[in-house]
Structure 1
């Protein structure tokens, strides 16, 4: 059992649920490998037009499985950290860069790499009362899963430094006041809300979403002229798509567009 459940609750939507409830959905090698490989498959699948990453109502994930890490350290301390390059980096990269929207459905507890995964997603739905935290300093480590970038981008560099160095947990409500984005709903409504959002995105202009993800991801590294050039290049390609032609035609015909992702 990999600890990952995959389903397609409606056309175009892929639901990935981390499922090791007896271990707090802790990320062991089987779950990390399954998540990495499945995300790669979904990223390349044109029939998948939106993705939801979820845990359960009690926990998104507590992060790395420390029992497994302890055993890896006992066997070979020099290789125990290889999981960052082998698993955490590819998972985070796939969530952030796949050419379709990804929604995180987060409820209960979300710490360590779990918080990194959630913030790597394009959109987030949070359950009321969810506990967030960086956790890494508590085990003598530093950030992985992109958290050094995504947390600073969300709440500011100074506050991110405090959250990382002190490793104090905080309620999601406080995080939203600090700058985290996303919808806040009752715990039992997290997954239905995320699936509804993904369903909406799955019927949208998929290639437009992919272009927007690329532009936004690189925005912090470009000056105005470079940004204008990148936007012009993306618009030039999108202007030839079936979805763009459909959108313009439907506007003129005063009807709702039907996007196919082409």
Structure 2
């Protein structure tokens, strides 16, 4: 195993691991981790084949630091700055060409839930829980939740979840599509890293193309999307990855991407 990095970001065998919250401040979102994560995603090198989002405390991320909100001389300006940094991070995740995996242990509330909704694959445990948490403190959503949640769970369900500040348990989160699947609570972080490591060894250009097509489909007609798919698969067929995949299939061997 090879690893390089800091408290908030490290690269382990081709997986960029980003810590969005620590045990400090009750696992509230860590602004330093968010800023460090944005920088790491913007500077993503070719050695990185997947990203893992995680927290290092009991929870993935319990939302914003409400005590910090209350202590600010100008609460609006304080939250505006935090939201600006968070939204830079969300945009960086959205622009990331490699798969993004979230290991969601414990609570993902407020901004933590928003971050999970940006992941390509999200793993949780039986004790994982979600909550928008904004109505509970008289605030509106940030982190893109008003955009991502309707696209994941449907417009009607999103309205109910946000307006009632619903607590969503692990099984319901899987049913709604917020979580991809469940593993044992104590295995969430390790399984997220294992999934990311498997993706690192896969066809990276294929994953990038899949992510691009899925993103474009959100505002595309079927007719335009069919053209994109045709062009993308034709390009892939002549790429080193596509040639290796087809040749390995015919030779009944594992491809070397």
TM-score higher than 0.5 here?
A: yes
On the 8 A contact 1:154/1:181 being kept in 2, the answer is: no
**Alignment partner, residue 238 of structure 1:** 236
**Alignment partner, residue 40 of structure 1:** 42
Equivalent positions of 1:44-123 (< 5 A) are 44-56=44-56, 58-72=58-72, 74-75=73-74, 77-78=76-77, 80-84=79-83, 86-123=84-121
Q: Secondary structure at the match of 2:27?
A: coil
Structure 1 residue 258 displacement after superposition: 0.6
On the 8 A contact 2:122/2:178 being kept in 1, the answer is: no
Q: In structure 1, list runs of 5 or more residues that go unmatched.
A: none
- Which residue among 93, 111, 125 is the counterpart of 1:127? 125
Aligned equivalents of 2:132, 2:7: Cα separation in 1 = 23
Q: In structure 2, list runs of 5 or more residues that go unmatched.
A: 1-5
* CA deviation map 1:23-55 (0-9, x unaligned): 2331243232222212222xx311000111111
**Alignment partner, residue 7 of structure 1:** 10
Structure 1 residue 158 displacement after superposition: 1.3
Aligned equivalents of 2:62, 2:173: Cα separation in 1 = 18
Q: Secondary structure at the match of 2:218?
A: helix
* CA deviation map 1:150-173 (0-9, x unaligned): 222222211211111121322121
Aligned equivalents of 2:102, 2:194: Cα separation in 1 = 12
Structure 1 residue 244 displacement after superposition: 1.1
Q: 1:62 to 1:178 in 2, by over 3 A?
A: same
On the 8 A contact 2:52/2:192 being kept in 1, the answer is: yes
Structure 1 moving runs of 4+ over 6 Å: none
**Alignment partner, residue 215 of structure 2:** 217
Aligned equivalents of 2:170, 2:150: Cα separation in 1 = 16
User: What TM-score, normalized by structure 1, do the two folds share?
Assistant: 0.88
Q: Secondary structure at the match of 1:132?
A: strand
Aligned equivalents of 1:78, 1:142: Cα separation in 2 = 15
**Alignment partner, residue 156 of structure 1:** 154
User: What TM-score, normalized by structure 2, do the two folds share?
Assistant: 0.90
Q: Secondary structure at the match of 1:125?
A: strand
Cα RMSD between the aligned structures?
Answer: 2.0
Aligned equivalents of 2:177, 2:103: Cα separation in 1 = 18
